[in-house]
A and B are shown apart, each in its own frame.
Chain A
Amino acid sequence: MIQQPIVAGFGAVRIDRHFGMSSIDLAVESLKDLESRHTDIDLAPDTVIVSSMHPEIMQEQSGIAGVMADYLDLKGVRVYRVESGEASGLAAVNMAYTLIRSGLSRSTLVIGVEKVTEYPTSMITRAYSLIEDSDYKGFYGVTPAAEAALLAKIYMKRYGYSYQDLYKWPYLMHSTATTNPYAQLKFRLKDTSYEKSPIISDPLRLVDMFPYGDGAACIVVSDGSAVDKRDAVIAIAGVGASSDIVDPFVRSDPVFFDAVKNSFNQAVAMADVNRDQIKYIELHDSFTPYAYIAMESMGLVERGASVRSLSDDLTINGTYVNLSGGLKARGHPWGATGVYQVGEVFRALRGEEQYRSIDPIYAGLAQNMNGPGAQSYTTLLRRVD
């Protein structure tokens, strides 16, 4: 019998420089948050999936899923680690969905966790840069920020935007993140804050890049046997995953991400929802240009139109995006991010604090990618009414 995967609960720690906590400490805290948010669910996972990009480098830990399950006092469970670069989080949720749907698992705990601030910035940048093709761009020292800068220039030139036009995105992300309890950056930007922001790779500045921060988020995906019934029940209605040529400059169009488009379309096609019922999207905005390219690749707006079409209330053609503050301001602890994103969509569908200003919505999705659309994953949630 095919099971309908349900997101039974979500918990997370605020993303921050948690110098005092290890990845395991962070995971423990995120579970405590889940338990305090969903007091009446019976947490008895038979499976633990840990999504983490760099536990070997940042925590000197291989086999992290097993160690984590042990410290969480979950003996005898199946453990897996899922890694797909900075898209590990949604890749892990995809796997949890599959386990539940196949009937192999009845309740899977997905823990996205990343310790990022364990070293000085240049070392963190080195670790993050490992997502580049190691034998080529990695050898030349091309960082993800430099690659994003090149794509930003191509995008701006092709569609006639200035840097100031693109600055709208970080400005709005900072603004909306101020009320998100899980957000790392809780300060507003001024219209001109970019002028004092150091250039990371021209034209992109520090304000155009996600902040380095540590985090852990968890969700329980179940077959419905364990679920918090006091509020709306949220199902995973569809998942998508696609990959592309890793180097955007070999693709036919470097500033349109086919993997994003394809994973989005797969998830929507799988779900029994209409496209116009999807009113909330958490998208992957590690660097400013990627937010715009992701919106266009998902088809929210025609190519090149996202910058001018995005409203100040963070709607684009009637769909809300990144009310959480996104990777830019909520934060981007690499392998944990996808789980945070699912948590935000989950909270949006339940009309929680950060999402009270918007009308009740039936369906929403998260989009998480590695690099500039090298691999992309989509998880579509809907209410079970």
Chain B
Amino acid sequence: MFKDSVPKYWRLRDVVYRLKYIYCRDCGKSSFPPRSKCPYCGSSNIDHRYSKGNGVVEEYTVMYQSEARYQDYQPIVFGVIRLDEGFRIVAPIVDVDPNSVEEGMRVEATLRRVRVDGSTGLIQYGIKFRPSRR
């Protein structure tokens, strides 16, 4: 397959580095990833905002069979995380024993390598989550 796209990663930097999301001024709901209209009410009356990266684990799974570029990180804990700003994200939870993850656990953002394009391509960073420290 092709190498990873450089412009794609570059375009996504606000989203993957800083959790840029949208807040709907009409229905008051937040959602991720950003889009031109609110997925809940269809309004275009939206703000772009950045999350502080703190949230709670609503559900999680421990994945043992990943696609080629993520195999070094196996097993990967994926959480359904509800951020304090109100939106949900499905993202990896790191620095944790998979057996000790539980619903209701508080998590915070951590910048990590998300994927690495071979030994010569781009190192792509993004926000993952880890158990909250405080």
Instruction: Name the residue among B90, B114, B115 with the largest chain A CB count within 10 angstroms.
Output: B90
B86 to chain A, nearest CB (A): 12
What are the 6 closest A-B residue pairs judged by CB atoms, nearest first? Answer: A126-B67, A141-B70, A149-B61, A201-B63, A122-B68, A125-B67
Tally of chain B residues near chain A (CB < 8 A) = 35
A 210-263 contacts with B by CB, 8 A: 245, 247, 249-250
Closest to B67 in A: A126
Given known A139-B16, A140-B91, contact A245–B67 (CB-CB < 8 A):
no
Q: Which of A129, A140, A247, A250 contacts B126 (CB 8 A)?
A: A140
Complex contact A123–B68 (CB within 8 A)? yes
Q: Which of B8, B59, B115 contacts A141 (CB 8 A)?
A: B115
Given known A135-B15, A140-B90, A140-B114, contact A150–B64 (CB-CB < 8 A):
no
Complex contact A150–B80 (CB within 8 A)? yes
Complex contact B1–A149 (CB within 8 A)? no
A176 to chain B, nearest CB (A): 26
**Once the chains are docked, how many angstroms separate the CA of A57 from the CA of B8?**
19
**Once the chains are docked, how many angstroms separate the CA of A57 from the CA of B67?**
14
B65 to chain A, nearest CB (A): 5
Report B-chain residues with C-beta under 8 Å of the C-beta of A195.
Answer: none
Complex contact A135–B8 (CB within 8 A)? yes
Q: Which of A121, A146, A153, A250 contacts B63 (CB 8 A)?
A: A146
Give A contacts to B, CB under 8 Å: 57, 120-123, 125-127, 129, 133, 135-137, 139-143, 145-147, 149-150, 153-154, 198-203, 245, 247, 249-250
**Once the chains are docked, how many angstroms separate the CA of A129 from the CA of B76?**
15
A57 to chain B, nearest CB (A): 6
Per-residue 0/1 for B30-66: is the Cβ within 8 Å of any A Cβ (1 yes, 0 no)? Answer: 0111000001100000000000000000011111111
B 72-121 contacts with A by CB, 8 A: 73, 76, 78, 80, 88, 90-92, 114-115
Given known A133-B33, A139-B12, A140-B114, contact A200–B64 (CB-CB < 8 A):
yes
Complex contact B1–A143 (CB within 8 A)? no
23 A-B contact pairs sorted by A residue (CB < 8 Å): A120-B68, A122-B65, A122-B66, A122-B68, A122-B71, A123-B67, A135-B33, A136-B33, A137-B90, A139-B124, A139-B126, A140-B126, A141-B66, A141-B67, A141-B73, A146-B76, A150-B59, A150-B60, A150-B78, A199-B64, A201-B78, A202-B62, A249-B80
- List 8 extra interface pairs beyond A133-B33, A141-B114, A150-B90, CB under 8 A: A122-B68, A125-B68, A126-B67, A126-B68, A137-B90, A201-B62, A202-B62, A250-B39
B114 to chain A, nearest CB (A): 6
Given known A135-B33, A141-B114, contact A198–B66 (CB-CB < 8 A):
no
Report B-chain residues with C-beta under 8 Å of the C-beta of A247.
Answer: 90
B5 to chain A, nearest CB (A): 10
B57 to chain A, nearest CB (A): 11
Q: Which of B12, B16, B60, B88 contacts A250 (CB 8 A)?
A: B88
**Once the chains are docked, how many angstroms separate the CA of A147 from the CA of B66?**
12
Report A-chain residues with C-beta under 8 Å of the C-beta of B62.
Answer: 199, 201-202
**Once the chains are docked, how many angstroms separate the CA of A57 from the CA of B59?**
33
